Amino acid sequence: MTSVLLVRLSAMGDLVHGLGAIEALHRARPDWRLTLATQTALAPLLEGVPGIARVVLLARHGGLGALRRFRAELRAERYDVALDLQGNWKSAGVAAASGARQRLGAGAAWRQEPRSRWLLHRTVAVPGEHHPALVAWTLARELVPGLPFRAPRLRATDAEVERERAALRGLGVDPDRPMRVLVVGDPVDARALRPAALAAEAAASQEPAVAVLGPAEAHVAAPGGVPALRHAPGELRRLVALGALVAGAGGIVVGPDQGATHVLAAAGARCLVGFGAQDPRRTAPPSAVPLVHPAPPACSPCRKHRCRLPEGPVCMAFTTAGGRAVANGLPPFG
């Protein structure tokens, strides 16, 4: 039996992007044992993902003791292959520390830290942009040539869906009818849709609107006074359940290019994703519709989290009605 280690330590959206390739690899080689190394905080997203036999977790702020435990758990299994899906020194170091007989990763042009390839045995050119889903698929195809491209899919349990249904009812929102979910980011972040645009989105919506805010947005108000679902730390599974509910009810998600939107898309929700600072060819969810400003500034995309323009990130000041749909640059998926 072939044992494969896949390394994707962060970030949330990037981890989700790589799950399609992992599921495709499992479907093609169900007899292979697939292990995923990632951060402890992201582990809930892996529940119910087909093909992942084992998860090795790194506590991000656990100190030297956590690193030692992580390495011991990593070396508890002998791997035939390690795939570095991330492309930096930390992920390449994990691949090297695993003791895998063969270590593969993307070539220098597709790595966050190009020299980290020195820790690998072989690198592979990626046919396109540095998109996490494309990198993961390309590396998986090195093991199984001709592997089809698959979009990531997250699955909620019936109990999780019922709990989120009850949370929506508590806000006065019917969870079984179409709704418009607005993913609210911190306005300081250049990737976030502008508060005025979100308020206009809610006002113009034909469906009841509900805002979803994560732990990083605890201090942020919901736009336009719409009811707000606030998810606390450790409640990533609620996003998966919400995505399943939106998909089942025929609703829609409007959000920025951030982790919460990516999780909702992977859970099956139809998503319209706003891009300004980010480049949809590098980060758009495979199943989502990327939208950009109809007349973006010359500096867009800049891929920065903070905007240096005096007037702020005008590239994100648009509604879905005024946004321009663009291609994500990814292959067709099954």
Burial profile 27-40: b = 16 or more Cβ within 10 angstroms, e = fewer: ebbeebbbbbbbbe
pLDDT of 267 strictly over 90: yes
**Domain total of the chain:** 2
- Do 279 and 303 have their domain in common? yes
Domain of residue 61: give its range: 3-143
Q: Which of 86, 109, 143 is the last residue of a domain?
A: 143
Residue 71 scores a pLDDT above 80 = yes
Among candidate residues 259, 84, 58, the one with its CA nearest the CA of residue 154: 259
Q: What is the mean pLDDT of residues 319-325?
A: 97
Q: Are 125 and 160 spatial neighbours (Cβ–Cβ below 8 Å)?
A: no
132 and 172, same domain (yes or no): no
pLDDT above 70 (res 334): no
289 with 176, same domain? yes
pTM of the complete model: 0.97
Residues 57 and 202 grouped into a single domain: no
CATH code (residue 308):
3.40.50.2000
Residues 128, 162 within the same domain: no
Residues 14 and 50 in one domain: yes
pLDDT digits (tens, 9 = 90+) for 139-150: 999 999 999 999
**111 falls within a domain:** yes
- Spacing of C-alpha 213 from chain mean position: 16
The residue behind tokens 């000041």 is 317
Residue 289 dihedral angles phi and psi, to the nearest 5°: -100, 110
Same domain, 210 and 239: yes
Same domain, 16 and 134: yes
φ, ψ dihedrals at 230, nearest 5°? -110, 115
Q: Please report the beta strands in 122-268, taking only residues with DSSP state E, as ranges in sequence order.
A: 122-124, 180-183, 209-213, 228-230, 252-256
